C-alpha cells in the first residue's frame, strides 16, 4: 500500500491545537474530510474531539526533519490498519517519494487482517507494559494473538517477556555511548521493578565492548527478533549492523595480519546478512551462522576445514545497499 500524507500540521502530538487541526482539514477534499471524521477517537487529554482524532491517527511527518521540524500528517487509508504486537506488515515513510508505504513482512492469506506495530519501541516491552501503553496512548487493550496467549500466566508468555527484556538490554548497550541513550524508548520500559533507571549504561562497559562483542550482540538481536516472530523490515537493521560490525572486525584482523579460522564461512555470513538488509520485505526466518571469530593460535569454535590468510580486500569487497 502507498498512502500520501495529507492534512499537514506544523506542530505535533500534545502540542497540537484545534486551530492547527482546522487549518490542516481545510486543505482536504470534502471526501477526505468525511473519511477523517470516521477515524477512531482514542480519548486523551484534549477536550476537543477533532484534536483527539488527529492525535490518535496522525504520524510524525519527516519532510522537514533536516530543518528541525516536527510536523504531523494523516494517511487516511493507513489509519484503518490495526495494531498487533507481532505484525504481518510494516509501515515506513519514504522521504524521497514523500509517501508512507505498508509492506508485507510475511505471506498474508486471503481475508487475513493486515496489522502493523504502531511504534517500533513496543517490541522491547513486556506483555504488561504493552497493555499499559496501548491503553494510555491509543485507548484500547491489545487483544492480538501475541497478547491473547501471552502474559505471565503462560509459559510462552513468560519466555516472550524474557526475550523482550533481553532485547531491550542489548539495544541499550549497543545504542548507548558515553551514557547517552540514542534508542527511542518510553519511561515505562526504562525503569526496573524497583524503579532503577535501566537507561544508564556504565561508561566502562561501553569502553570495553569490542567489535567482536558488537557483531555477536547485533546477531543476537536479530535472532531474538526472529524468535519473537518479527520478520521483514524488523530484521533489516539488526542484520545490517551485524554485517557492518563483522566487516569492521574482519578488516581489523586482516590489517593486523591475523590468520582466522573459517574465514570463508564468516565472509559468507557477512554477505548473507547484507542480502537480508537489501530486501527487508522478503526476509525469511532462518538460522544464519554463529558469528564467532577465532584468530590463529586460539581454540577453534568448530573443526576448521581451512586456515586462510585474511586480506583486507576480502572484507571490503562487499558494499552495502541501504
Long-range contacts of 33-41 (CB under 8 A, 24+ apart): 35/76, 36/7, 36/74, 36/76, 39/76, 39/79, 39/80, 40/79, 40/138, 40/139, 41/139
Q: Are strands 2-3 and 99-104 parallel, antiparallel or unpaired?
A: antiparallel
Residue 176: strand pairing partners = 181
- Contact present, 213 and 235 (Cβ < 8 Å): no
b/e string for 195-205 if b means 16 or more Cβ within 10 A?
eeeebebeeee
- Mean pLDDT over all residues of the chain? 74
pLDDT-derived band at 302 (thresholds 50, 70, 90) equals: very low
What is the spatial distance between Cα 318 and Cα 270, in angstroms, rounded to a whole number? Answer: 9
C-alpha 107/C-alpha 284 separation (Å) is 10
CA atoms within 13 A on the CB side of 66: 2
Confidence of residue 301 (pLDDT cuts 50, 70, 90): very low
Nearest residue to 156 (alpha-carbon basis) of 231, 232, 229, 235 = 229
Which residues fall within 8 angstroms of residue 158, CB to CB, at 6 or more apart?
A: 152
Please determine, for residue 17, whether its predicted confidence score (pLDDT) is greater than 60: yes
Phi, psi of 74 (to 5 degrees): -120, 135
Whole-number Å distance between alpha carbons of 274 and 219: 12
- Split at pLDDT 50, 70, 90, the class of 315 is very low
Residue 32 has pLDDT above 80, yes or no: yes
Give exposure, 136-164, as e/b (b: 16+ Cβ within 10 Å).
ebbeeebebebbeebbeeeeebeebbebb
> For residue 203, is pLDDT > 90?
no
16-25, 140-149, 298-307: segment of lowest average pLDDT: 298-307
State residue 123's pLDDT score. 86
Sheet of 71-74, strands arranged across = 6-9, 71-74, 59-61
d(CA 61, CA 67): 12
In this model, does residue 64 exceed pLDDT 70?
A: no
pLDDT top residue among 194 and 286 = 194
Question: Would you place residue 247 in the very low, low, confident or very high pLDDT band (cuts 50, 70, 90)?
Answer: confident
The total number of residues shown for the chain amounts to 322
Where are the domains positioned within the chain? 2-117, 122-206, 212-316
Say if residue 283's pLDDT is above 60: no
Global confidence as pTM: 0.72
Please state whether beta strands 259-261 and 307-309 pair in parallel, antiparallel, or not at all (unpaired).
Answer: antiparallel
Quickly state the pLDDT bin for 227 (edges 50, 70, 90).
Answer: confident
Compute the distance between CA of residue 221 and CA of residue 174 in angstroms, rounded to an integer: 10
Give me the long-range contacts of 115-119 (CB less than 8 A, separation at least 24).
115/81, 115/82, 115/83, 115/84, 115/87, 115/88, 115/89, 115/144, 116/81, 116/82, 116/83, 116/84, 116/87, 116/89, 116/90, 116/91, 117/83, 117/84, 117/85, 117/86, 117/87, 117/90, 117/234, 118/83
Q: What is the mean pLDDT of residues 162-182?
A: 72
Give the residue-averaged pLDDT of 122-150.
Answer: 86
- Integer-rounded Cα radius of gyration of the chain: 22
Q: How confident is the model at residue 156 (pLDDT cuts 50, 70, 90)?
A: confident
Collect contacts of 37-40 with beta carbons under 8 A, ≥24 apart: 39/76, 39/79, 39/80, 40/79, 40/138, 40/139
Amino acid at each position: 500500500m502507498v498512502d500520501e500524507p495529507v492534512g499537514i500540521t506544523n506542530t505535533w502530538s500534545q502540542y497540537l491545537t484545534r486551530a492547527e487541526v482546522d487549518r490542516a482539514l481545510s486543505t482536504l477534499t470534502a471526501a477526505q474530510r468525511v473519511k477523517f471524521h470516521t477515524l477512531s477517537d482514542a480519548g486523551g487529554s484534549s477536550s476537543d474531539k477533532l484534536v483527539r482524532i488527529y492525535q490518535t491517527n496522525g504520524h510524525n511527518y519527516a519532510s522537514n526533519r533536516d530543518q528541525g521540524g516536527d510536523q504531523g500528517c494523516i494517511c487516511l487509508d493507513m489509519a484503518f490498519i490495526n495494531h498487533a504486537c507481532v505484525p504481518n506488515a510494516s509501515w515506513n515513510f519514504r522521504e524521497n517519494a514523500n509517501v508512507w508505504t505498508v509492506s508485507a513482512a510475511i505471506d498474508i492469506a486471503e481475508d487475513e487482517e493486515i496489522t502493523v506495530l504502531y511504534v517500533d519501541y513496543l517490541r522491547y516491552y513486556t506483555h504488561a507494559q504493552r497493555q499499559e501503553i496501548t491503553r494510555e496512548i491509543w485507548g484500547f487493550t491489545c487483544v492480538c494473538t501475541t497478547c491473547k496467549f501471552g502474559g505471565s500466566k503462560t509459559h510462552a508468555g513468560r519466555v516472550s517477556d524474557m526475550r523482550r527484556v533481553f532485547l531491550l538490554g542489548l539495544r541499550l548497550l549497543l545504542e548507548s555511548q558515553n551514557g547517552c541513550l540514542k534508542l527511542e524508548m518510553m519511561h515505562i520500559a526504562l525503569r526496573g521493578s524497583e524503579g532503577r533507571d535501566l537507561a544508564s549504561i556504565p561508561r566502562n562497559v561501553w569502553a570495553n565492548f569490542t567489535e567482536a562483542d558488537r557483531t555477536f550482540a547485533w546477531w543476537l538481536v536479530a535472532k531474538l527478533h526472529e524468535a519473537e516472530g518479527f520478520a521483514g523490515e524488523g530484521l533489516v537493521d539488526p542484520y545490517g549492523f551485524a554485517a557492518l560490525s563483522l566487516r569492521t572486525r574482519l578488516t581489523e584482523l586482516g590489517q593486523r595480519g591475523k590468520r582466522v579460522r573459517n574465514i570463508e564461512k564468516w565472509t559468507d555470513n557477512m554477505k548473507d546478512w547484507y542480502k537480508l538488509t537489501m530486501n527487508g520485505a522478503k526476509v525469511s526466518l532462518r538460522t544464519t551462522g554463529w558469528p564467532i571469530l577465532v584468530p590463529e593460535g586460539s581454540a577453534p569454535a568448530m573443526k576448521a576445514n581451512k586456515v586462510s590468510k585474511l586480506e583486507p580486500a576480502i572484507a571490503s569487497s562487499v558494499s552495502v545497499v541501504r
